[in-house]
C-alpha cells in the first residue's frame, strides 16, 4: 500500500514592524520561543514543536499550528445510559508548516473541514502579533497563486466591471513585471496600497488599457503573494464571475513520516519555484 500523500499550500508572510523588529531571524526567534496562544469563540491556537532545520546551507523553520478546545464534551455510555465527559485541551487539528524566514514563504498542510487555509493564514498571523502583545507589529499571510492562472482568468473576461487591489511593498526584492508599482509604494513610504477601479453601470473598463497599466501589474504582484486582488465581470461563457488571487493557490503533495528534514526536502523544489518568480529573492540572501 502506497504511503498517504498530504496537500501543502503556499503563502507569503507579510510583516509590518516598528523600530527594533526589522531583523527577521530575531523576530521569529521571539515568536516561536514560547507559547502565546490566541483564541476565537470556540477554539484556541498555539505554535508547537517548532525547530530550525538547516538544509543545503539554508535554514527553514518547521512546526505545527495546534487548534484545540479548552474543554470538549465527549459522549460516554455508563450503566447503559448516555452521558458526557469533559476532555481538557482536546486537539482538533495540528497541521504542519514549513517557513523560510528570510523570504517569508510558508508551506502549510491543508485540512479541509478541520482547519481550512483561510483559518490557518489568519491564525498564523495573529500568533505572530500575539508574541509581541500586538504592539509595533502587524502580520498577514497572503496566498501565492499558481503562476499564470490569474492572467489566464483575466484573458477570459469579455467585460470588466471592477478590479480591487490591496498591495504591500516587497521586502526587499521585486519582479520586473511589477517593479514600477512596487517602487511607487516604497517611495510613498506606505505599508499598504489600495486601489479600486469600477466601470459605469452596464459598461466595461477598457480591457486593453487595463492590461497595459499599473493595475494589471498590481494583479500580478498580488498573485506573487504581496497582497490580494479581485476581478469582477463577465467571461466568455456569459457568466458574471469574481476571481481572486486566493482561487488558485500553489499546492504540492508530500509524505509525512515525522521527520522534519524529510518534509523540508520534499517541499524544497516548490520553494525554489516560488523564489524564482521574484527576481533574486533568494539568491541575494545575506
Q: What is the pLDDT of residue 21?
A: 55
SS3 30: helix
More confident residue, 187 or 75: 187
**The dihedral formed by the CA atoms of 175, 181, 186 and 192, expressed in degrees to the nearest 10:** -100
Confidence tier at 85 by pLDDT (50, 70, 90): very low
- In the DSSP assignment, the letter for residue 23 is -
* Cβ pair 119, 158 in contact under 8 A: no
* pLDDT tens for each residue of 16-60: 876 555 677 788 988 998 888 999 888 999 999 999 999 888 899
Q: What is the pLDDT of residue 27?
A: 87
Specify the range with the lowest mean pLDDT, choosing from 9-23, 219-233, 241-255: 9-23
Specify the range with the lowest mean pLDDT, choosing from 45-54, 82-91, 229-238: 82-91
**The dihedral formed by the CA atoms of 156, 158, 161 and 167, expressed in degrees to the nearest 10:** 30
Specify the range with the lowest mean pLDDT, choosing from 8-22, 54-68, 141-155: 8-22
* Cβ pair 214, 128 in contact under 8 A: no
SS3 186: helix
The stretch 169-179 carries a mean pLDDT of 82
CA-derived radius of gyration, the chain: 21
The stretch 67-92 carries a mean pLDDT of 59
Q: What is the pLDDT of residue 73?
A: 52
pLDDT at 180 exceeding the cut of 50: yes
| SS3 assignment for 155-167 | HHEEEEEEEEEEE
Q: What is the pLDDT of residue 50?
A: 95
Residues in the chain, how many? 286
Amino acid at each position: 500500500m502506497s504511503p498517504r500523500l498530504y496537500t501543502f499550500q503556499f503563502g507569503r508572510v507579510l510583516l509590518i514592524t516598528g523600530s527594533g523588529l526589522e531583523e527577521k531571524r530575531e523576530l521569529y526567534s521571539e515568536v516561536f520561543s514560547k507559547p502565546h496562544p490566541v483564541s476565537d469563540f470556540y477554539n484556541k491556537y498555539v505554535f508547537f514543536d517548532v525547530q530550525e532545520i538547516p538544509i543545503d546551507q539554508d535554514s527553514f523553520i518547521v512546526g505545527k499550528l495546534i487548534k484545540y478546545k479548552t474543554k470538549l464534551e465527549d459522549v460516554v455510555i455508563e450503566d447503559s445510559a448516555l452521558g458526557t465527559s469533559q476532555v481538557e485541551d482536546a486537539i482538533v487539528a495540528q497541521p504542519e508548516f514549513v517557513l523560510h524566514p528570510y523570504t517569508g514563504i510558508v508551506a502549510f498542510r491543508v485540512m479541509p473541514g478541520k482547519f481550512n487555509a483561510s483559518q490557518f493564514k489568519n491564525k498564523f498571523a495573529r500568533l505572530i502579533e500575539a508574541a509581541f502583545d500586538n504592539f509595533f507589529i502587524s502580520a498577514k499571510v497572503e496566498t501565492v497563486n499558481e503562476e499564470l492562472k490569474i492572467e489566464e482568468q483575466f484573458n477570459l473576461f469579455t467585460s470588466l466591471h471592477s478590479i480591487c487591489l490591496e498591495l504591500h511593498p516587497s521586502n526587499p526584492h521585486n519582479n520586473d513585471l511589477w517593479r514600477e508599482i512596487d517602487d511607487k509604494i516604497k517611495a510613498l513610504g506606505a505599508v499598504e496600497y489600495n486601489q479600486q477601479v469600477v466601470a459605469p453601470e452596464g459598461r466595461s473598463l477598457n480591457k486593453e488599457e487595463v492590461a497595459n497599466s499599473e493595475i494589471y501589474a498590481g494583479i500580478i504582484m498580488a498573485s506573487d503573494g504581496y497582497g490580494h486582488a479581485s476581478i469582477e465581470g463577465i467571461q466568455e461563457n456569459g457568466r458574471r464571475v469574481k476571481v481572486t488571487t486566493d482561487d488558485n493557490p500553489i499546492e504540492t503533495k508530500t509524505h509525512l513520516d515525522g521527520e522534519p528534514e524529510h518534509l523540508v526536502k520534499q517541499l524544497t523544489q516548490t520553494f525554489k519555484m516560488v523564489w524564482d518568480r521574484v527576481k533574486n529573492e533568494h539568491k541575494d540572501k545575506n
